[in-house]
Amino acid sequence: MSESDHGRATLGVHLPVAAQPSLDGLVDVALRAEERGYERVWMPETWGRDAVTALAVMAERTDEVGLGSSLFNVYSRSPTLVGQTAVTLQEASEGRFRVGVGPSGPAVVERWHGVDFDRPLRRTREYVEILRRVFSGETVRYRGDCFELDGFRLRCGPPETPPPVDVGGMGPKAVELAGRFADGWHALMCSPDGLRTRLADLERGASLGDRSVDEVHTTLVLPCAVSGGDDDEGGEGRACGLVTQHVAFYVGGMGTFYRDALDRQGYPATRAHEAWQNGDREEALAVVEGFVDDLAVSGTPAEAREALTRFRGIDGLDEVAIAFPRGATDGDVAATVAGLAPERGGD
């Protein structure tokens, strides 16, 4: 796990799912991140624009910022197709791409894609193994519990530098899997103490894989909202409201994975989930408001930068990817990118 020169995690940008009215607007956020000195731009894929097209455009229009998927789910595309995609994006970006994959959850996989959410951890492990075989350029022959493949081989040259493969995971076993088999791990919905607990799971997984945990690049996806300026009266209230609504939506409306992850960390997420499911959004928001400062960054630029240091200084964390609440406007996104931007050459 590489650290910045100052012992702090580097900063990336986790692009908004649906805040931008056009593809150009989304790519502009990536360009702004590059100009501001962010290390990497991650493109999620849930609803809205697909990540592959967006990342291809970003690879063409940017010059040096790293690019990555966060995350392709392992059910909606085959591993060989994602392997081809990753090889192509690595070529298009001239070696700047990381491929992030993960199982997502039943709410997305079954309801949106119509696929059985079966053996998510095993499927993810096999997916990672197949991706690496695709990247090698050799013929893929694979016999697993979830996949049986024979005869696939790239008809283009394999990448000189294979894209690193990152895995998303929230529970202890999922994080252990990332430590054992992946090049990186994506964490989300973690307090600083919760993240430290999961980092212990990562280290255990690395030990099981007979390697050092330092080989695993760790990224925390952190909801952030910054008001327009330090003298923006009332702006910090709007920023806090945005991250509270964001966390409440994921805890209450996106299945049980986020709820369970927060329950494990000692937060009353089940109460928020039940209130949301019963249609009492105000109660759900009130519950989440009681602990949202442990999971997100919000406020004026000065307040947000100070809050961000709690996460960037966590031992074992390589990168913090600032993520935008689902209700963020274009102005909110711009203010957050600017307010939390690293200082070139010194941050």
Taking only the tens place, the pLDDT of each residue in 57-81 is: 999 999 999 999 999 999 999 999 9
Banded pLDDT at 270 (limits 50, 70, 90): very high
Give pTM, 2 decimals.
0.93
The one-letter amino acid code at 192 reads P
pLDDT in tens, 176-209: 999 999 999 999 999 999 999 999 999 999 999 9
Would residue 289 count as lying in a domain? no
Nearby residues of 94 by Cβ (< 8 Å), 6 or more positions away: none
Q: Are the CB atoms for 324 and 25 separated by under 8 Å?
A: no
Would residue 254 count as lying in a domain? no
Would residue 238 count as lying in a domain? no
Would residue 261 count as lying in a domain? no
Banded pLDDT at 21 (limits 50, 70, 90): confident
pLDDT value at 275 more than 90? yes
* Measured CA angle at 195 (ends 249, 328), to 5 deg: 35
pLDDT in tens, 29-46: 999 999 999 999 999 988
Q: What six digits make up the tokens of 222? A: 């952190």
CATH number at residue 124: 3.20.20.30
* Segments forming the whole domain that contains residue 169: 10-228+304-339
pLDDT in tens, 217-242: 999 999 999 987 666 655 578 999 99
Tell me what pLDDT residue 230 has: 61
Would residue 66 count as lying in a domain? yes
Tell me what pLDDT residue 7 has: 59
Tell me the CA distances in angstroms from 262 to 36, 51, 136, 270, 294, one per residue in order: 32, 27, 39, 9, 11
Would residue 292 count as lying in a domain? no
Would residue 120 count as lying in a domain? yes
pLDDT value at 210 more than 90? yes
pLDDT in tens, 296-328: 999 999 999 999 999 999 999 999 999 999 899
Would residue 253 count as lying in a domain? no
Count how many domains the chain has: 1
